[in-house]
Amino acid sequence: MGRAIAKSDRDDVLRVNEAFYDAFSAGDLVALEEIWAVEPPVACIHPRWPALLDRYEIIESFRRVMTMPSPPRPTCVNPRAFVYGDVAMVVGVEVTLRSRHVATNLYRRRRGGWKMIHHHVTEGPHPPLPGIEETR
């Protein structure tokens, strides 16, 4: 029989997911680097970008996005966390002033807590996800 998923695991993952969006929105690359896992595999898929599979390329991509003349300031609306042992998935709607996209973030539990291993944002626009009310 598997280990029961503690509500605190989901809460911890949601806190890390919120910290990711706080860092991204604030343009805080140092905080964002702390959230991303150091050891591979890692992956990031920004809308209209090729898949990035190297941590250095991923961090550099966020630096490029954050230093654009009008950088996005995304928030994640109504994220839902699913924990599978030492891996967790968060699905939500990533909202900026100009767009709404479905986002999937994966995290792996390491000695230092939950670390991001995958960030994928789809090209929009998309309707709300089933079962997720869009409230702020």
pLDDT above 90 for 124: no
What's the whole-number mean pLDDT along residues 33-37? 97
pLDDT value for 125 = 56
CATH for 7-121 is 3.10.450.50
Both tokens of 38, joined, read 């150091």
Instruction: Tell me the percentage of the chain whose pLDDT exceeds 90.
Output: 75
- Summarize pLDDT for 55-98 with one digit per residue, the tens: 999 999 999 999 999 999 999 999 999 999 999 999 999 998 88
Write out the DSSP string of 67-122. TSSS----EEEEEEEEEETTEEEEEEEEE-SS-EEEEEEEEEEETTEEEEEEEEE-
Write out the DSSP string of 113-126. EEEEEEEEE--S--
